[in-house]
Amino acid sequence: MLFRECAEVFEKLESISKRLEMTSILADFFRKVPSNEIQPLIYMIQGILSPPFLSVELGLGERFAISAIASSAGYPIKEVEKNFAKSGDLGKTAESLLEKKKQLSLSSRKLDLIYLYNSLVKIAKTSGAGSQELKIKLLTELLNNSTPLESRFIIRFVIGELRLGVGDPTILDALSVLKAGDKSLREELDRAYNICADLGLVAKIFMESSEQIKHFKVKPFNPLIPALAERLSNSEEIINKIGKCAVENKFDGLRLQCHKKGELVEIYSRKLEKMTHMFPDLVKEIKSLKQDEIIFEGEALAFNKKQDRYFSFQETIRRRRKHGIEESSKEFPLNLFVFDIFYIDGRDLTKESYTQRRKYLEQIFPTTLLKLSENKIVSTAEEMEILFQNAIKENLEGIMAKDLNSPYTAGKRKFAWIKLKKSYGKSVDTIDAVIVGYYLGKGSRAKFKFGGVLTAIHNPDSGKFETIANIGSGFTEEEMNNFEKILNKIKSKKPSKNLIFKTEPDFWVKPKYVVEIAFDEITQSPTHTCGMENDKGYALRFPRIVKLREDRSENEVTTTKEIIDMYWLQFKNKK
């Protein structure tokens, strides 16, 4: 398939915002795509070259893309920069400059989708001395062979700004519509995607045979998208919702998913990036398990022998960075509190109940470093409250209540797990939001160039970010300097194309850094666009940053729906 056809569809997609319309455009398009080309096409629509756990990344910043545009279009770099300063969109800059050049030359050959994809993978894999020059040369060649419209999307893709506004749910809908004419196959597709985290692979298998998707199974080295917990505000509500249930401590550590097949072990982060090299101690222990193939997950915490306590997530990370991996493994050994299991020797366990999965867990763990996340079965709110208060006394985040009959709900926030956390000020919980801009300091803060951040949550239905809070307080001097440093590197001239906003910071930044925010209350506000209807959105009262969440990507922040649920939860709490 020619990339020209894809670029034309991309242009159509970015001009519309209605999900139904996008779904039908995509379904019609997928129908025309040869089945061996669907996998790379899906990755490209997602703006990636591979699923996150294979981490094939381009590593090309704006500067390199500007050099390639300059040499392909025959303009000095300064000229490209000037055009970019005006357009604020490097893709559009490439398009307009190449447009002028193409009127003068007739040389370009037709760019094939697979050729383009393979060339981008080649760029990503180029490393070592002189690799940056080679990357620019390869990108220049691609631009030489592309039409102006194609170059718009190639450039946006390489700088990580493709953002067609098409979320994974829309792609899954389109696949279902393609074969069934409606969304009836969506559930099977969803499950397959959630247990392998590879939408390109799911689409490929589905195009070959939708029957295969029905029987899709968990497999070592294809991490599952983690299950998420709903929140309720007290033990009574939890018991009313799920009845007799298991209660586990909620540890504030690093969520890790461990895969073993024979001698091979991989450990994935919550974002599904490979972290194996970070945990040599855990790898050794996992290798020694007697199961040939196994997949399980847990929360890792470093143990402070001197103080006889576990470090929190932030301390665990800091120690590892400061003391090096080998050193800190000795001084602050990691324990993994294993809380779920998905697969043993060819058997997919994700459809089995919590009670059943727990039986397997108890047979295998604890080992020396792989501890079992202890649980207690409770039937009343009073019993649960005692466990919750104990957890708080032990300085833990709270508890997780788990439905005894529920399967593992990969990729979903469901009432299979319910978290009950200690309150922060008056709020029931903290939220995670991505920084989309920052302010300059005023008054006594003017000496730091940093005065606060504008943050946004994510609306998966529209694929957009919506603002929720300006945060100007709660920073130490050191934190202000740190934020200034990291945000300055990702400054951009215009807001992200996917951001809906009503308030403007001094500087926009690419949505990248996620922060956990405590607050007093969720209120309605005309300034922030979270869940906005009739000019009223949702905003946080007295927001304070708790910490930077390095285990989160920008699309994994709190969602609009969660904010609205939390807004209503407050009224219940006040009663």
Report, in angstroms and rounded to the nearest whole number, the Rg of the chain calculated over CA atoms.
25
- Choose the stretch contacting ligand ATP; rule: CB under 6 A; options: 93-101, 173-181, 224-232, 385-393: 224-232
- Choose the stretch contacting ligand ATP; rule: CB under 6 A; options: 11-19, 221-229, 358-366, 468-476: 221-229
Pairing verdict, β 334-344 and 370-372:
parallel
Residue 309, CB-side half-sphere exposure with 13 Å CA sphere: 10
Token code pair at residue 335: 């324990």
Show the binding pattern over residues 373-412: x = contacts ligand ATP (CB under 6 A), - = does not. Answer: x--------------------------x------------
| 3-class DSSP assignment, residue 329 | helix
The Cα–Cα gap between 526 and 534 comes to 9
Closer CB to ligand ATP, 217 or 419, in the complex: 419
Torsion of CA 549, 553, 555, 561, to 10 degrees: -20
For helices 131-144 and 62-73, give the axis angle rounded to 10 degrees.
50
Minimum distance, C-beta of residue 281 to ligand ATP, in the bound complex (Å): 20
Single out the residue of 75, 251, 483, 513 in contact with ligand ATP (rule: CB under 6 A): 251
Closer CB to ligand ATP, 259 or 358, in the complex: 358
Under the binding rule (CB under 6 A), the answer on residue 250 touching ligand ATP is: yes
The Cα–Cα gap between 269 and 258 comes to 9
Site for ligand ATP in 407-436 (CB under 6 A): 419, 421, 432
Phi, psi of 116 (to 5 degrees): -60, -45
> Which residues, listed in sequence order, are joined to residue 400 by a DSSP beta bridge?
248, 419
Minimum distance, C-beta of residue 338 to ligand ATP, in the bound complex (Å): 9
Q: Tell me how many residues contact ligand ATP (CB under 6 A).
A: 15
Single out the residue of 299, 352, 403, 554 in contact with ligand ATP (rule: CB under 6 A): 299
Single out the residue of 339, 360, 439, 483 in contact with ligand ATP (rule: CB under 6 A): 339
Show the binding pattern over residues 113-152: x = contacts ligand ATP (CB under 6 A), - = does not. Answer: ----------------------------------------
Minimum distance, C-beta of residue 195 to ligand ATP, in the bound complex (Å): 17
Closest CA to 483 of 446, 432, 448, 508: 448
> Can you say how many angstroms the Cα of residue 539 is from the centroid of all Cα atoms in its chain?
22
| 3-class DSSP assignment, residue 505 | coil
CA angle 411, 412, 416 (to 5 degrees): 125
Under the binding rule (CB under 6 A), the answer on residue 466 touching ligand ATP is: no
| Cis-peptide, bond into residue 366, ω within 30° of zero | yes
Single out the residue of 179, 255, 320, 458 in contact with ligand ATP (rule: CB under 6 A): 255
Under the binding rule (CB under 6 A), the answer on residue 228 touching ligand ATP is: yes
The residue ranges that bind ligand ATP (CB under 6 A) are: 226, 228-229, 248-251, 255, 299, 339, 373, 400, 419, 421, 432
